[in-house]
């Protein structure tokens, strides 16, 4: 295999193991015991998928930056972390107790989240032309997510598959115990993780960088808050990351509540990943044509639009599924656009630290607040044991709309000013 082929395969596996379990886990945790689920409350699910992710996001820079970059070859520590993560996921699949799920989810997040940075580090270390090569390699991560989200239900949750013209396209009758089988998505992820760990030994050798981290880099990165545009971006990003987290906490249970089969939840949500591929392909064009302010603004507005569609619960299921395409605009225009902007305004010697600081704030704070808010709103809009999704989604849509207005009026792009200086 060529070097770029190996890097593309790495990205495929990196995101396939994530896409295998994340879209369906909230549905499994929220389904009643009688249905085959675990019957956890919204607050408990928020802690499992929110708090755990936040702890992992905060721990990631210290594992990936302070340990991996200095003492071990990157591909070897990547192999160790994904294999450990695979074992943890496998064990988690057999748990039924909330405390066990919470503890194991935190452990998994601590070992998995650093691998996102490590896989990127390996990629950038071996590319001749990052601007041209990275998008072509990173897109295989999105394809991996899609492949895993489709393969699991087709192999394990359905029979007699056939094609239909509307998403999720390939469907079939569900097996009798389909909801309880959603737990096996974690085992599927574990198998992919172990295979990924073995494959890591085929990756290009990436030795540790003894002088990798400048001691004052983090301090200098925090000086970006002296720039108004960065502060406004961080405030907007924290708010968006909160409602972004809730998407993964509640979309699976929501789609099930309006009649989508459990085996179709994962494939239906990949409509967003298909849209992400298209949006990422044209992101550079939109940034050059319309600028960071307008592109990021549209990304925030896409969150408001998506949740407004979700809130109109009387719409046909197929519209709800097709509206997952908003996810591509949400992720590419907002998150990717924001990361590129931070890279543009940071000095070259602190760009990595600037991205780390930005990531800790939005990936560390957003998920834990989003997990709490999701549980709180679910309890607020539940009456007589029935969760009313309509006001829930409309509330999130309003948050997205207000955030878009805040960003649109307050943000002033400083890239051109910096270039002129």
What count of residues does the chain have? 421
Parse the chain into domains and list their residue ranges: 1-213, 214-421
Cα distances from 120 to residues 10, 65, 340, in angstroms, run 10, 12, 15
* Per-residue confidence (pLDDT) for residue 68, from 0 to 100: 61
- Convert the pLDDT of each residue in 8-56 to its tens digit: 999 999 999 999 999 999 999 999 999 999 999 999 999 999 988 899 8
Angstrom distances, CA of residue 6 to CA of 138, 147, 167, 315, 418: 12, 18, 31, 44, 37
CB-based contact 413:291 (threshold 8 Å)? yes
- Please say whether the beta carbons of 266 and 149 come within 8 A: yes
pLDDT of residue 131: 59
Q: What integer pLDDT is reported at residue 53 of this predicted model?
A: 86
pLDDT of 58: 84
3-state helix, strand, coil in the chain (%, to 5): 80, 0, 20
* Pair 26, 185: CB distance under 8 Å: no
Provide the pLDDT for residue 270: 92
Residue 401, both tokens = 């709309």
Backbone angles phi, psi at 174, to 5 degrees: -80, 150
Which residues lie across from 171 on neighbouring strands? 162
Three-state secondary structure of 279-319: HHHHHHHHHHHHHHHHHHHHHHHHHHHHHHHHHCCCCCHHH
**pLDDT number for residue 88:** 98
Note the CATH number of domain 214-421.
Answer: 1.20.1250.20
Q: How far apart are CA 157 and CA 52, in angstroms?
A: 27
The angle, 0 to 180 degrees and rounded to 10, between the axes of the packed helices 228-257 and 337-345 is: 160
Distances (CA, A) of 42 to 49, 378, 380: 11, 6, 11
Q: Does domain 1-213 have CATH number 1.20.1250.20?
A: yes
pTM of the shown model: 0.86
DSSP state of 204: P
Cα separation, 333 vs 339, whole angstroms: 10
Terminal-residue alpha carbon distance, the chain: 45
Burial category of 288 from C-beta neighbours within 10 Å (exposed 0-12, middle 13-18, buried 19 and up): exposed
pLDDT at site 169:
75
Please tell me the distance from the alpha carbon of residue 412 to that of residue 293, in angstroms, as a whole number.
7
Neighbours of 391 (CB within 10 A): 12
Q: How far apart are CA 254 and CA 273, in angstroms?
A: 19
pLDDT along the chain (421 residues), means of 10: 92 96 96 96 93 86 65 88 97 97 95 86 80 80 93 91 75 91 97 98 84 58 85 94 94 94 92 91 88 95 97 94 93 88 79 75 87 94 94 98 96 66 47
**Domains 1-213 and 214-421 agree in fold:** yes
| Cα(16)–Cα(381) distance, integer angstroms | 34
pLDDT, one tens digit per residue, over 205-261 is 988 765 545 555 567 777 888 889 999 999 999 999 999 999 999 999 999 999 999
Name the nearest CA neighbour of 319 among 378, 258, 278, 262.
258
Res 211: pLDDT = 54
Q: Can you give the pLDDT at residue 421?
A: 47
Task: Give Cβ neighbours of residue 181 (< 8 Å, ≥ 6 apart).
Answer: 36, 156, 157, 175
């Amino acid at each position: 295999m060529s070097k770029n082929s190996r890097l593309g395969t790495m990205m495929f596996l990196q995101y396939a193991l994530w896409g295998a379990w994340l879209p369906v886990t909230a549905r499994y945790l929220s389904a009643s015991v009688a249905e085959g689920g675990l019957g956890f409350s919204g607050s408990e699910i928020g802690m499992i998928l929110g708090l755990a992710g936040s702890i992992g996001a905060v721990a990631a820079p210290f594992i990936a930056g302070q340990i991996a970059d200095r003492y071990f070859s990157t591909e070897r520590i990547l192999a160790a972390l994904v294999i450990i993560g695979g074992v943890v996921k496998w064990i988690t699949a057999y748990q039924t107790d909330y405390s066990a799920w919470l503890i194991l989810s935190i452990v998994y997040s601590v070992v998995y989240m650093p691998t996102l940075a490590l896989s990127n580090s390996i990629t950038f270390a071996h590319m001749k032309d990052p601007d041209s090569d990275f998008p072509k390699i990173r897109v295989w991560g999105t394809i991996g997510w899609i492949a895993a989200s489709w393969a699991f239900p087709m192999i394990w949750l359905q029979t007699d598959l056939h094609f239909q013209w509307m998403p999720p396209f390939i469907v079939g009758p569900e097996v009798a115990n389909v909801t309880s089988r959603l737990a096996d998505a974690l085992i599927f992820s574990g198998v992919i993780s172990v295979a990924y760990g073995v494959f890591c030994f085929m990756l290009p050798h990436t030795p540790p960088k003894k002088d990798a981290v400048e001691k004052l880099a983090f301090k200098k990165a925090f000086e970006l808050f002296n720039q108004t545009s960065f502060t406004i971006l961080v405030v907007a990003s924290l708010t968006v990351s909160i409602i972004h987290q809730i998407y993964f906490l509640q979309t699976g249970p929501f789609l099930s509540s309006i009649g989508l089969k459990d085996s179709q939840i994962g494939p239906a949500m990949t409509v967003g990943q298909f849209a992400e591929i298209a949006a990422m392909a044209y992101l550079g064009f939109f940034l050059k044509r319309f600028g960071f302010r307008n592109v990021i603004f549209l990304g925030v507005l896409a969150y408001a639009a998506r949740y407004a569609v979700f809130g109109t619960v009387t719409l046909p299921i197929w519209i709800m599924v097709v509206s997952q395409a908003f996810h591509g605009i949400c992720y590419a225009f907002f998150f990717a656009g924001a990361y590129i902007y931070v890279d543009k305004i940071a000095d070259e010697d602190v760009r990595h630290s600037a991205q780390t600081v930005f990531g800790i704030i939005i990936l560390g704070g957003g998920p834990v607040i989003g997990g709490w808010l999701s549980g709180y709103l679910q309890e607020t809009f539940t009456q007589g044991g029935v969760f009313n999704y309509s006001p829930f989604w409309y509330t999130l849509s309003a948050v997205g709309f207000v955030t878009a207005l805040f960003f649109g009026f307050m943000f002033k792009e400083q890239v051109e000013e910096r270039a002129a200086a």
